[in-house]
A and B are shown apart, each in its own frame.
Chain A
Amino acid sequence: MLDDEIAREFLLESLEHLNSLDEALLHIENGNAPDIDGIFRIFHSIKSAVAFLELQQLENIAHQSENILAVVRDKNKELQIDDIGVFFQVGDCLRQGLAAFEKKEDFHPSNLENLLQDLDALNSKINSSEQVVVAKRPVRKSKRKPPPKPENPASESHSLESDSNIRIQISLIDEIINLIGELVVARNQAIRVVEHVAEPEMRPIIHRIDHLTTIIQEKIMTTRMRAIDSAWKRYPRMVRDLSHELGKDISLKMVGQETELDRGLLNMLQEPMRHLLRNCIDHGIESPDERERAGKPRDGTIHLKAFQSTGQVVIEISDDGKGLDEEKILSKAINTQLITEAQATQMDNKQIQQLIFAPGFSTKQAVTHVSGRGVGMDVVHTQLTKAGGQVELDSVFGKGTTVTIRVPLTLAILPALIVQTNEHYFAIPQDNIVEIVDLQDKTGELQQIGDATVYSLRGKLLPVLLFEDILNKEKSPIENGIIIVLDTNELKFGLIIQHVMDTEEVVVKPLGEELQGFQIFSGVTIQGNGQIAWIVDPTAIAQISGLRAGLQEEEILQQNQNITPVLRFHIENYGSAAINIKRIVRIEEIHDQDLKIYGTRCLYTIQKTVVTVYAFGQFDAENLKACNLIICETNTGLIALRVQQVFDIYHEEFEESPSINSLGSMILLDGEPTSLITPESLTEEHL
């Protein structure tokens, strides 16, 4: 019996070689000069590996391929594009064989005989062909044994690699990540205790542990990260095969393959991504003739683009195909009773396009094996939502379709806001939270429209849901509470909860199968105080409550009006001041102790970013106090302004009077002269 460990090494190595084989072959097919040497080496390495694994059949075909290539290389024969196909098949056959070996199954490929015959035919064709360009090397008669030379480059580079890299079982990494998750929880507990216990010598130690834990956590998370390329490198081959099959000419352009993503997420993305690509090839891009008639180039193009943006990975898949036919979608949706005709008349294009995500929707007339079983896009949608992602669609009829996928960078750790309702704790992902509104004294601004409750937030109508109702599955009058304004990217709504507790980086634990019935929770976590909190999934809440995008038209109207909402606050040693709300990222309630002073600069760390704090007057080291930090965005990054009291948001028209200092102009708010500050002026002014 073979040593399992060594067999595994060989297996992994061969699979890597097969991937590079695909790449090299596609390279030729795209009209580039063939790297015969490279392909030869690949086959040679695979041959040695499968020979070691005692896979006789696979060794045979690898050997045959190697022979042909040796002839091509040494006799300078030309390899026809048509001849490449057989090597693709060899690659597939090897891949299947290795997969079967991995699962310890017997491998009896039906096409092995054909493949060997094809290889034989190619061999004799190459040998008899007279396309000798220039015989640079003396022709060697028999090439049974490969020259020893090409063996070395591959193995040399390999040994170099293994000096600085080691292979680790994923399960071990996952275990470490879990343990670090526990460490984070323990650290949070320690921080809490230290806050209440006045042991001065403990604080720096705990802070150091805090700091180190964060670093370890970040580092270990990066080990789970993989370049998206590891999944994408199979796509060129897939696009080639499918488009050939359908008689289409499609080229695939990829940008941002180096973008890194959590390994687990990458796996979860596989299926939806393949589905979307198939859709582009089958439904999206037209046949060459059709394209010509439409005045487009005969070959279609699919663009794949990946990049990171604000804690998310964005993947765009766009084609220059025929786009979505809204009328077809509508008639199909009405036929299948997805919507009524009355509803249809009220939908805009965007909403119609969203219909293709509905379960069982597919407009393709006939079922092809490429796509179109009617379970297409809704599966994509559910799978991505499960992975904590979102999918958006943008299509112009006749021009093409772009699907945008957004997924979080990592699944395991989530910055969240802990809230309380009844006796339960909940964690709401920070990414979804837009703002928090205390309903105190403002319940009058809640209005009933039919059975929906809306809140007028700065003149915009926001649908609100009472969280208690969702939990109890009933309706009760709203008396008081705090509105968490949530944005699911598709829509905005308010969730009324009873108390806001704290923000915390929580370690996401999946729900056991017995709790899968909880649709509105995506997981569970243990807070620093040891209490269990349920992680809320805002998208699921919106779905369960039947919220639909659309209530936001009002919002767009509002934005057109010429009103700049501002936040007014009081600065010690200065007076009343205000900042444009759009420039404010968040407000932190802190204590002066949380600020760190370095020379003349005062710094504060917010979500791993260090911001400079601007304050008026001196810090009184003897008399530290609580204050608020207003975190604003400037064109050079985030800054913070230390203020004493935050009043309210004003959205009224005001007249600006000339400024009295370099900070900005004066306005009147509530009859109070207020200095309207621009964040940039703070950085210019030395305070």
Chain B
Amino acid sequence: MTFLQILFLFVSAVILAASIMVVMNRKMIHAALWLILALAGMAVLFVLLEASFLAAVQVVIYIGAIAILIIFAMMLTRRAMHDVGAQVNRNWWLGAVVSVVVFAALMLMLLQVPGMQATAQALPIDESALLVELGSALVDVNMYVLPFEVASVLLLAALIGAIVVARPLSDENEGSEA
């Protein structure tokens, strides 16, 4: 077993354990921090796959923005921090059966994909060229320019929507304020 494989197994174990802690933990803020650990583990997996751009983006977006937003929302609802209710309800066995079946089905399907058990080849070109290719693919008419622009418009709409929602309802005196 190479060093990379050991690292991969270790990181995967950490991610799995952290994900379980996210749903098992009774303190919400701890759950959010376990989520951050799981997301950081994903970033490490990206690094192991030599996709450092995706790793950095993972940290910036998921840890730097989404997780911090979750924690901030929790801080504003301090009273509801500690959950004292039961963690499972009567249908827990049904959930367990469904998840085991889905896992087994996915494993079966993945094992039938040809080349699944072969060792992956190293990437033929170096990473900075890949980054350039990613950038130009996003604005290439033949590739992803349409989804990219649609996503931009969607984000802009969300931004404007957030501003409209956050604006205080005001009478016509204050309404003229830009």
Q: Do A and B come from one complex?
A: no
